[in-house]
Structure 1
Amino acid sequence: MKTSLNFKKMAQRVQTLVIAVGLACIASVSTNAAYAAPKKEVPAGPFKIDPAVQAKSMTDIPAIIALAKFDCVPSNAYLLGATEFDKAGTKVKGQLYEVACKTGPGFIITSVSPTEVGQAFTCSLAAKLKATQPDAIQCVLPENQPHYAWLNTVVQPYIPGCQVSDARVIGSTSAEPLIDRYEVGCGASAGGILDYPQLGTKSPIEYKSCLTVEGTPSACKFTTKEQLLATLKPLATQASATCQVNNVRFIGVSKENDSYFYEFGCANQPGFVVLTKTDNTYQRMVSCAAAAGLGGCTFTDAGAASKDAGSAFSTQLAKGGFPCTVEEYNVIGTQEQTKRDYIEFKCKEQPWGLIGFVPQAGSTSSLRLNDCFIDQTSRKSCTYVTEPTLRAQLDKLIKIAQPGKGCDVSQVRYIGESDGIEGALLAELACSNKRGYIAIVSADRNKITESVPCTIAKSHKDPIQCEIPGNGTYASAE
């Protein structure tokens, strides 16, 4: 079966999780004075519900909600008072209602007429406005106190056991998906970021760890780095039980396989990168030395990481039957389905290079390596041992195998591994004097075990023929 390998650099597959659409400042909602200061002021001090007003409000509100096309089953409603606002240069009067929903955020909405409603805004947005507009209207119903009480149920699938201690609206989008972005605090444990559909929309709910928005305008204020570290430590332990975790950062998300990348720093050893599913289920570990495609590690010195990985690779290769004291290595790509990296190694024990698939930690796939002669038959990824170096060795060997023929190898077609001799290389050699050969090179690359002139291969109708243009057209018979 042909192996599929994605050679795109990790960096091309990794993107940060900052929300793609711009977050508009919620303060813009308050530009209409009708929302900031209704004509009928809510009295200061503890709010007292008038049962008659409440009953009438609960009768009125279902039709208003239906007109606004909001997904809300009201648990309470109250007429706050009359208001007036500008609409296309005309003063329009309306009635302000506060609504508490059985699920989802409470809100304030203006009823203009039996066929028209004005703009609505959530109690959480009202609380945000209060910070900059002291006279802005606030939600007063017990069910909407505090304004984020409704979030306790919403966050449970994402932060089990979270008792919301605080929440704030960070911003809102003005283009699809239409969401309000909330930060949720969970007291002594880590909170997070919740993107929740705006009133009257069906946008999906999305949750993000505070770690994914570090350094952005959405950065968390209610969750500390220590809380995040405590939450993610189990991932580090799965990758390395000996790591004394002292730092963590979010690197990005791979849209190709819907995964997150986190870097961990360790106080007692080189750190590493952990790949998880989007629900933070552990998948695998990537050493810092192999994380160049992800932008590299920031908590671990590159030299220390490389030395540590080189030693580990040397042990892994030796166990697999490939003695190699790794001096340098190059991670070329990753085969996600088998959890193997495609790596080139440089070491004295392997003069013709070593390159191929190396299982990652936790992978059950096998080690599969070749030298750079075989690599030339397909991927041509070797850099430590170049093609001119390989050609020079073949030039040396053909002169021994075909003495007196004056063959200076000018071109090589690397065909593949020989079917008859394990590890042997099948290649077509073109000489500058137009002689040419189909050659079998021994597994140790120290001799040519068979060399058939192109003219003989043609006359015998051998299955492997010379294909390099002009090869084998030497005038004299072999």
Structure 2
Amino acid sequence: MFKSRLALAAAGAMVLVMAASETSLAQSSLSQSSNPEHGGRAAPGSSVDPNPVAGTRDTSASRVRGNRRAQVDARARAQAEAAAVDPATIKAEAETLFAATGTQCQITEAKLLGQTSDKTKIYEAACASGPGYIILASTPPQAMDCLVLASSAEQTRARDPNADVGTQCSLPANDNAMAVFTAFAKEAGLPCTVDQGSIIGAKPGGAVVYEIGCVGVDGAQINKGANGWEVADCLELASAGSTCRFTTPQEQAATVKALLAGSDAASCDVSQARYMGRNANGAFYEAACSGAEGVIARLNAENVVQQIYPCATAQQIGGGCKLTTTAPATAPNS
């Protein structure tokens, strides 16, 4: 990846060099067109002798012919370059490279970004669904996810605002991060309205991990594994000491409140909630109830409440309640 980033940065430098060369050539042409010594016309009010000696006239004429030949050659080169960057041709080349990488993408648009110093072409492609890609026509070809590149650039700039972050995706169709996060959340089975999303890392095998924020309820971290999407709710992650940037305690309390609907604890006005863990009997959640005794709820795999344990009598359930200050129940005096 480091080598690729160097190549991409080099490509960006080459594009700038090419642009500078074209600007210089244009300026030179403009200068020559108004310079009598290069066969051009003298500017109004010029002191150039309109009747130069024969030898000078011959030299100027030869320069005119040379300039005309150069212009013809330049037009020929421009036509050749235009043919080389024909959109259909570029799209076909990008599709061939994608096939070689094994990346799933139905290309809707592609453009040639430039070349590396060793003449390796670099393309950007937009896909019918999912993120777009930067494609390096190396051996073998490499495809780099636009969202991953943007996330890396964001982290790099956070450390150094002036850092070179290499080539980034620029096609308008690839400015689609929220659409991608929403689609991935749906594929992963998250039953919520997505309002935020971000790439937060990668699994040891390379699978990209996304954090998904949801409107009013608990969010999650998701990644696509070999057997489908893997989901870790933010409530579960909190129990392991991790945090989610896009989920609030209030949203987690609302989630547990919804889980308690239809149970003996349905009346609990959940002010705080935590995931305690799971065993063969199900998953366990603690809920602190405003103005009432807290509870521990056991849910099955379908998230349906199977049993409610009042905090006063739940000391043996995962160490008891932590969010409720209710004193443990005591045995009556004999």
TM-score range for the pair, normalised by the shorter chain length? 0.5 to 0.7
In the TM superposition, what are the counterparts of 1:16-31 in structure 2 within 5 Å? 29=1
Superposed displacement of residue 242, structure 1: 2.8
Q: Please report how far the alpha carbon of residue 154 of structure 1 lies from its aligned counterpart in structure 2 after TM superposition.
A: 2.3
| Structure 2 residue 220 is matched with structure 1 residue 192 | yes
The aligned residue for residue 213 of structure 1 is 237
Superposition map of 1:285-364 within 5 A: 285-288=308-311, 289-301=313-325, 304=327, 306-307=328-329, 326-327=331-332, 348=334
**For the structure 1 residues 190 and 290, does the alpha-carbon distance in structure 2 shift closer, same or farther, using more than 3 Å as the test?**
closer
What is the alpha-carbon distance in structure 1 between the residues aligned to residue 90 and residue 302 of structure 2? 42
Give the direction of change, closer, same or farther, for the CA distance of 1:215–1:275 in structure 2 (3 Å limit).
Answer: closer
Higher relative strand content = 1
- Which one-letter code corresponds to 1:193 in the other structure? Q
Cα offset, 1:153, TM superposition: 2.0
Mapped to 1, the partners of 2:171 and 2:308 lie a distance apart of: 50
Q: Which residue number corresponds to residue 174 of structure 2? A: 144
Uncovered stretches (5+) of structure 1, i.e. residues with no partner: 1-28, 44-49, 85-91, 311-325, 328-346, 349-478
Work out which of the residue numbers 86, 107, 123 in structure 2 matches 1:74: 107
The equivalent of 2:186 in structure 1 is 156
Match of 2:77 in 1: none
Q: Which residue is 1:170 aligned to?
A: 200
Question: Residues 285 and 217 of structure 1: is their aligned pair in 2 closer, same or farther, counting only changes over 3 Å?
Answer: closer
Change in 2 beyond 3 A, CA 1:95/1:285: farther
Q: 2: distance between equivalents of 1:271 and 1:31?
A: 56
Larger Rg: 1
- Percent sequence identity is 28
- The reply on whether 1:276 has 2:304 as its aligned counterpart is no
Residues 185, 223 of structure 1: 8 Å contact kept: yes
* Partner Cα separation in structure 2 for residue 35 and residue 282 of structure 1: 55
Aligned length: 257
- Structure 1 contact 124–148 (Cα < 8 Å) conserved: no
Contact 2:239 2:275 in 1 (8 A): no
RMSD: 3.1
Contact 2:98-2:105 at 8 Å conserved across structures:
yes
* Residue aligned with 2:256, SS: helix
Q: Return the alpha-carbon distance in structure 2 between the equivalents of residues 261 and 210 of structure 1.
A: 15
| Structure-2 separation of matches of 1:67 and 1:250 | 45
Q: Which residue of 2 aligns with 1:424?
A: none
1:106 to 124, 128, 132: 132
Q: SS of 1:156's equivalent?
A: helix
Q: TM-score if structure 2 supplies the norm length?
A: 0.66
Letter in 2 for 1:100: A
Q: In proportion to residue count, which structure has more helix?
A: 2
Distance apart, 1:218 and its partner CA = 5.1
Aligned to 1:61: 94
Of 93-102 and 164-173, the range deviating more from structure 2 = 93-102
Quote the Cα distance in structure 2 between the aligned partners of 1:74 and 1:261: 46
Is the contact made by 2:254 and 2:270 (CA closer than 8 Å) also made in structure 1? no
Please say if 1:248 is aligned against 2:273. yes
Q: How much does 1:96 deviate? A: 2.2
Work out the CA distance in 2 between the residues paired with 1:218 and 1:76: 39
- The 5 A counterparts of 1:221-232 are 221-232=245-256
